[in-house]
């Protein structure tokens, strides 16, 4: 009797282990968050940002200096937000919210208010895997903080 109960327990454990599979590829994304300081002082583009040609186009071309302050890597699972501390003292919240087509992903970006735990309304982005998208506007040390996201 004890042997059959133990066997039944192991069988149930095997069923649970096989049903708890990791998220499918379309339910997860690996994202790099680039925290960029944009200024109007003529310093050029940090060579680590040279592949981001969008920084040379409107609205970013109003700035002449782009320095990479920090980068963070986030592993996102559908519906589970991840957070990153920003140089401004605020917190970024990034969520993978779905897939639109085979290679197009939908994200939500939100930043908390200064000295508050609540978040401002989320902005939604739909992008190709590997195609950068940006959010900017927070003032930071005589310039602006530009957040660049590259998700795969």
**What is the tens place of the pLDDT at every residue in 41-58?**
988 999 999 999 999 999
Environment class of residue 72 by beta-carbon count within 10 Å: exposed (0-12), middle (13-18) or buried (19+)?
middle
Using 50, 70 and 90 to split pLDDT, how confident is the model at 69?
very high
**For residue 16, what pLDDT is reported?**
37
Domain coordinates in residue numbering, the chain: 21-151
pLDDT class of 26 with cuts at 50, 70, 90: low
Tokens of 57: 């186009």
CA-to-CA distance for 150 and 34, rounded, in angstroms?
8
Determine the pLDDT at residue 65.
97
Categorize the per-residue pLDDT at 24 as very low, low, confident or very high, splitting at 50, 70 and 90: low
The CA-to-CA distance between both ends of the chain, in Å, stands at 52
And the tokens for 20? 């708890």
Does the reported pTM lie above 0.75? yes
């Amino acid at each position: 009797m004890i042997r059959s109960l133990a066997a039944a327990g192991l069988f149930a454990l095997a069923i649970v282990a096989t049903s708890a599979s990791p998220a499918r590829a379309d339910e997860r994304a690996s994202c790099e968050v680039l925290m960029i300081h944009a200024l109007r002082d003529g310093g050029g583009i940090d060579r680590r940002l040279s592949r981001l040609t969008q920084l040379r186009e409107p609205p970013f071309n109003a700035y002449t200096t782009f320095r990479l302050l920090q980068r963070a890597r986030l592993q996102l699972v559908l519906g589970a937000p991840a957070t990153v501390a920003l140089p401004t003292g605020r917190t970024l919240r990034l969520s993978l919210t779905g897939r639109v087509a085979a290679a197009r992903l939908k994200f939500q970006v939100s930043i908390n208010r200064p000295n508050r735990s609540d978040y401002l309304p989320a902005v939604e982005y739909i992008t190709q895997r590997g195609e950068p998208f940006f959010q900017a506007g927070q003032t930071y040390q005589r310039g602006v903080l530009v957040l660049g996201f590259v998700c795969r």
